[in-house]
């Protein structure tokens, strides 16, 4: 049974017919049995490096999400299950935050059933709100709700036992930095002569004395589902206790900065996010680390996509928001630097 969604998705992606075909009852039944839920339909959405994702329908008509981790490390599905339960607890305490709970988990079969979060990506919601003041007001509330959620994740997330950020953070920053340096001409625009080395950034983060903290790990507007009634975060597969909430904040900031919306509106969104974060404040060296981590990662991904649109985005970024770290590029988020 394992991999049925996986194979189906692969074939359908090739045929560009995603979501059009439902799996047969014989294919759906084993998922229902393994998860102990009354699943009547299952249609593939997509797959990533670790799992196949499908949309299921329960007998009472409620939609749900099925993730089939197949032969991937069962720790990954366990991590997503634990993080979802943690998020679902928080969602009951934050106004306007959509819930997203774990419906079932079969560790032996490496399967998860997750409740479906309605709504569209926050990116779409924001673009559609540009010409409606009512929707703009709601979008600003949503940005504040996400800020409040991040604050809660920081304050209530499992405490890290380590004093330093996880190796993954250093390795990925090194990877992005090396790849940027290898790009002729443009590489020099991304990383000037006086750019701090990865070692300098990391020692700064460590010397700051700030402890690592829990983070969502993929906090981008496309993982935020929103409608007029609220907003919530999906995709809890990349959480870490050895990172920091600034990881989520700068991931979100970079994605928001990349959006083409009126600057005043963008600044209002960033201000609302900051309002939600409340009085959280961290050492400037930790800000520098995560700002550079996301700036370099974003530029590297855009430039290595080798397509005109991402290249145009990278050039626009370099001319505007993706400049080397300086507190005045942070706009409203500057107040989250410890004095």
Ligand X SMILES: Nc1ncnc2c1ncn2[C@@H]1O[C@H](COP(=O)(O)OP(=O)(O)O)[C@@H](O)[C@H]1O
Point out which residues bind Mg ion (CB under 5 A). 223, 235
Q: Should residue 68 be labelled a site residue for ligand X when binding is judged by CB under 6 A? A: no
**DSSP output for 294-308:** HHHHHHHHHHHT-SH
Cβ partners under 8 Å of residue 183, min gap 6: 190, 303
Cβ partners under 8 Å of residue 333, min gap 6: 249, 253, 270, 273, 274, 277
Number of chain positions touching ligand X (CB under 6 A): 13
220/322 with CB nearer Mg ion: 220
Q: Are 216 and 248 within 8 A, CB to CB? A: yes
The residue within the footprint of ligand X, chosen from 90, 117, 143, 303 (CB under 6 A), is 117
Q: Should residue 45 be labelled a site residue for ligand X when binding is judged by CB under 6 A? A: yes
From the list ligand X, Mg ion, none, pick the one residue 190 interacts with, judged by a Cβ distance below 5 to 8 Å according to partner type.
Answer: none
For the chain, the distance separating the N- and C-terminal CA atoms, rounded to the nearest angstrom, is 57
Dig out the tokens for 194 from the structure: 């006086």
Per-residue exposure over 232-262, b if at least 16 CB sit within 10 Å of its own CB, e if not = bbbbbbbbbbbbbbbbbbbbbbbbbbbeeee
Q: Should residue 97 be labelled a site residue for ligand X when binding is judged by CB under 6 A? A: no
Residue 114 CB, nearest distance to ligand X (Å)?
A: 5
β-bridge pairing 120-121 and 230-233: unpaired
Q: Which helix (H) or strand (E) holds 190?
A: helix 186-190
From the list Mg ion, ligand X, none, pick the one residue 145 interacts with, judged by a Cβ distance below 5 to 8 Å according to partner type.
Answer: none
Q: Are 252 and 307 within 8 A, CB to CB? A: no
From the list Mg ion, ligand X, none, pick the one residue 53 interacts with, judged by a Cβ distance below 5 to 8 Å according to partner type.
Answer: ligand X
Closest CA to 51 of 92, 10, 96: 10
160/223 with CB nearer Mg ion: 223
Residue 116 CB, nearest distance to ligand X (Å)?
A: 4
Residue 79 CB, nearest distance to Mg ion (Å)?
A: 15
Binding letters toward ligand X, positions 5-44, x by CB under 6 A: ----------------------------------------
From the list Mg ion, ligand X, none, pick the one residue 277 interacts with, judged by a Cβ distance below 5 to 8 Å according to partner type.
Answer: none
From the list Mg ion, ligand X, none, pick the one residue 322 interacts with, judged by a Cβ distance below 5 to 8 Å according to partner type.
Answer: none
The residue within the footprint of ligand X, chosen from 35, 65, 146, 322 (CB under 6 A), is 65
Residues within window 216-235 making contact with ligand X, judged by CB under 6 A: 223, 234-235
CA 157, CA 155: separation in Å to the nearest integer? 6
Residue 186 CB, nearest distance to ligand X (Å)?
A: 28
Binding segment toward ligand X, per CB under 6 A, in 110-118, 152-160, 275-283, 324-332: 110-118
Q: Should residue 144 be labelled a site residue for ligand X when binding is judged by CB under 6 A? A: no
Q: Should residue 114 be labelled a site residue for ligand X when binding is judged by CB under 6 A? A: yes
Q: Should residue 116 be labelled a site residue for ligand X when binding is judged by CB under 6 A? A: yes
State how far Cα 56 lies from the chain centre: 23
Name the residue with the smallest CB distance to Mg ion: 235
Q: Are 334 and 304 within 8 A, CB to CB? A: no
Residue 235 CB, nearest distance to Mg ion (Å)?
A: 4
CA 191, CA 109: separation in Å to the nearest integer? 46
Applying CB under 6 A, the residues found at the interface with ligand X are 45-46, 48, 53, 65, 100, 114, 116-117, 223, 234-235, 237
């Amino acid at each position: 049974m394992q991999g049925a969604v996986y194979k189906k998705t692969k074939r359908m992606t090739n045929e560009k017919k995603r979501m059009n075909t439902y799996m047969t009852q014989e294919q759906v039944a084993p998922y229902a049995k393994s998860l102990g839920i009354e699943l009547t339909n299952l249609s593939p959405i997509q797959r990533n490096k670790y799992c196949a994702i499908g949309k299921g329908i329960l007998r009472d008509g409620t939609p749900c999400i099925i993730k089939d981790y197949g032969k991937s490390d069962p720790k990954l599905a366990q991590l997503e299950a634990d993080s979802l339960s943690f998020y679902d607890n928080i969602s009951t305490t934050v106004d306007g935050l959509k819930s997203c709970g774990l419906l079932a988990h079969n560790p032996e079969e490496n399967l998860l059933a997750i409740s479906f979060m309605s709504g569209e990506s926050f990116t779409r919601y924001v673009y559609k709100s540009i010409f409606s003041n009512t929707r703009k007001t709601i979008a600003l509330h949503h940005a504040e709700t996400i800020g409040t959620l991040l604050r809660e994740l920081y304050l209530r997330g499992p405490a890290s036992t380590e004093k330093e950020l996880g190796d993954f953070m250093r390795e990925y920053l090194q990877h992005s930095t090396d790849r940027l340096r290898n790009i002729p001409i443009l590489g020099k625009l991304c990383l000037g002569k006086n750019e701090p080395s990865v070692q300098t950034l990391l020692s700064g983060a460590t010397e700051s004395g700030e402890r690592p903290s829990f983070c969502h790990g993929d906090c981008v507007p496309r993982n935020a589902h929103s409608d007029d009634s609220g907003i919530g975060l999906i995709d809890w597969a990349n959480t870490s206790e050895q990172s920091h909430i600034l990881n989520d904040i700068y991931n979100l900031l970079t994605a928001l900065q990349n959006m083409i919306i009126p600057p005043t509106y963008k600044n209002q969104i960033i201000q609302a996010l900051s309002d939600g974060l409340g009085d959280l404040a961290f050492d400037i060296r930790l800000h520098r680390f995560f700002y550079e981590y996301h700036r370099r990662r974003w530029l590297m991904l855009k430039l290595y996509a080798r397509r005109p649109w991402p290249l145009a985005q990278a050039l626009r970024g370099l001319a505007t928001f993706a400049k080397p770290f300086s507190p005045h590029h942070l706009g409203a988020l500057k107040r989250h630097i410890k004095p």
